[in-house]
Amino acid sequence: MKKIILVFGTRPEAIKMAPVFHELRKHSKKFKVIVCVSAQHREMLDPVLELFEISPDIDLDIMKDGQDLFDITSSILTKMKDVLAENNPDLVLVHGDTTTAFTTSLACFYLQIKIGHIEAGLRTNDMLSPFPEEFNRQVISMVSELDFAPTNKNLNNLSKTKPNISITGNTVIDSLHWVLDKIESDKVMKDYVKNHINQTVDFDWEKEKFILITGHRRENFGEGFLNICHAIADLAKKYKNVHFLYPVHLNPNVQIPVTNILSNFSNIHLVKPLDYQFFVLLLKHSYIVLTDSGGIQEEAPSLGKPVLVMRDVTERQEAVEAGTVELIGTNRKRIVSSISDLIDDSQKYEKIAVSTNPYGNGDAAKKIAESIIDYFY
């Protein structure tokens, strides 16, 4: 039996690692599966663990007020040294581009322990955008033994000398369908989710047109975020019959400009960050998605939602090429004109909404498990 440790620390990682955890657990005669969380984002991580029915075996519990990259990196590196030495795993699985994934990979490299990298091969090739994620993912690729690339383009970004690369699709599609199916099939959960949304959102989200907004990227802090907020305000004035729903990230660099600029509009709804099950149901009912996030560029196209990305570069070029995502940067006028085009031009809207999602059909975790079985057995 091979011992595998899954290490993650943020909400997006947990969402995307959950299907892998459950798939590997099906092979209990081949693998002993251990979950280690860093709790890099404690408040946003725990609800996802509960939703996906995951009880961590190891909790580093590093979260503290005012932590920065130095704090996160040094704390995880020191604690993972002890975890790895005590458990001596055959493989450690990390996901994506977080500081948890990067630091865990570094600890494994120091101890000569094999790393499997889920969501490998994403690239902007600009070390400062996104920061520090682009650096993190490139370093992880240098030391990983197994790489699970969502798409063929991701595979092509990886070194041709690496022998253990699989194209799997993205596990977020697995999670998205799992949660939506659970909501539809479980009346108790469906009522619970709808009631919570009704208490959070003060308009008829099932019938009225609304734009779902997410924004929290570090590289947009400052002028970029001010531009984003002013553009949303312009749109709210221009389209009074359209609602703008913004779950606002807890970071003060986001909270302060959003609150100062967007608080006094009847059709702008600023709400607290939403647990995943509430968010995906609102995503399903949204009209357009306006974001600077990463994962939502993969999720929204599965539901036929046009995505406008307020970044200058994206590591998810497949979605841009497929026509499901449009890069619009943080220029105030361009954000307004791009949203206006989709609201005013139904043909353009439909063209984007029916584009094919390049990130798979929800069987990524199964492919990852099969690849690991092939590698060991």
The answer on 217 and 143 residing in a single domain is no
Give the domain extent around 333. Answer: 187-353
pLDDT of residue 58: 98
Does the pLDDT value for residue 112 go beyond 90? Answer: yes
pLDDT of residue 155: 94
pLDDT band of residue 313 (cuts 50, 70, 90) is confident
The answer on 340 and 369 residing in a single domain is no
Does the pLDDT value for residue 354 go beyond 80? Answer: no
- Report if residue 301 sits inside a domain: yes
Does the pLDDT value for residue 355 go beyond 80? Answer: no
How many structural domains compose the chain? 2
pLDDT of residue 318: 85
The answer on 223 and 154 residing in a single domain is no
- Report if residue 43 sits inside a domain: yes
**Could you give the residue numbers annotated as active site?**
97, 119, 133, 216, 218, 249
Average pLDDT in the 282-296 region?
91
The answer on 211 and 108 residing in a single domain is no
Q: What is the CATH number of the domain that holds 286?
A: 3.40.50.2000
Average pLDDT in the 282-295 region?
91
The answer on 157 and 50 residing in a single domain is yes
Average pLDDT in the 316-344 region?
91
The fraction of the chain above a pLDDT of 90, given in percent, is 76
- Per-residue pLDDT tens over the stretch 213-267: 998 766 667 788 899 999 999 999 999 999 999 999 877 788 888 999 999 999 9
pLDDT of residue 161: 78
- Report if residue 174 sits inside a domain: no
The answer on 35 and 142 residing in a single domain is yes
- Report if residue 232 sits inside a domain: yes
- Report if residue 179 sits inside a domain: no
- Report if residue 327 sits inside a domain: yes
The answer on 346 and 324 residing in a single domain is yes
Average pLDDT in the 132-159 region?
94
pLDDT of residue 332: 95
The answer on 321 and 193 residing in a single domain is yes
Average pLDDT in the 141-156 region?
95
The answer on 367 and 338 residing in a single domain is no
Does the pLDDT value for residue 314 go beyond 90? Answer: no
pLDDT band of residue 63 (cuts 50, 70, 90) is confident
pLDDT of residue 225: 86
pLDDT of residue 223: 85
pLDDT band of residue 10 (cuts 50, 70, 90) is very high
The answer on 204 and 89 residing in a single domain is no
Between 44-48, 55-59, 168-172, the lowest mean confidence (pLDDT) is in 44-48
3-state SS, the chain, equals CEEEEEEECCHHHHHHHHHHHHHHHCCCCCEEEEEEECCCCHHHHHHHHHHCCCCCCEECCCCCCCCCHHHHHHHHHHHHHHHHHHHCCCEEEEECCCHHHHHHHHHHHHCCCCEEEECCCCCCCCCCCCCCHHHHHHHHHHHCCEEEECCHHHHHHCCCCCCCEEECCCHHHHHHHHHHHHHHHCHHHHHHHHHHHHHHCCCCCCCCCEEEEECCCHHHCCHHHHHHHHHHHHHHHHCCCCEEEEECCCCHHHHHHHHHHHCCCCCEEEECCCCHHHHHHHHHHCCEEEECCCCHHHHHHHCCCCEEECCCCCCCHHHHHHCCEEECCCCHHHHHHHHHHHHHCHHHHHHHHCCCCCCCCCCHHHHHHHHHHHHHC
Contact 56, 49 (CB under 8 A): yes
pLDDT band of residue 342 (cuts 50, 70, 90) is very high
Identify the bridge partners of residue 68 per DSSP, sorted by sequence position: none
pTM: 0.89
The answer on 94 and 239 residing in a single domain is no
- Report if residue 175 sits inside a domain: no
The answer on 321 and 368 residing in a single domain is no
Instruction: Enter the tokens of residue 156.
Output: 């092509």
pLDDT of residue 52: 96
Nearest CA-CA partner of 141 in 161, 126, 111: 161
Average pLDDT in the 371-375 region?
98
- Report if residue 38 sits inside a domain: yes
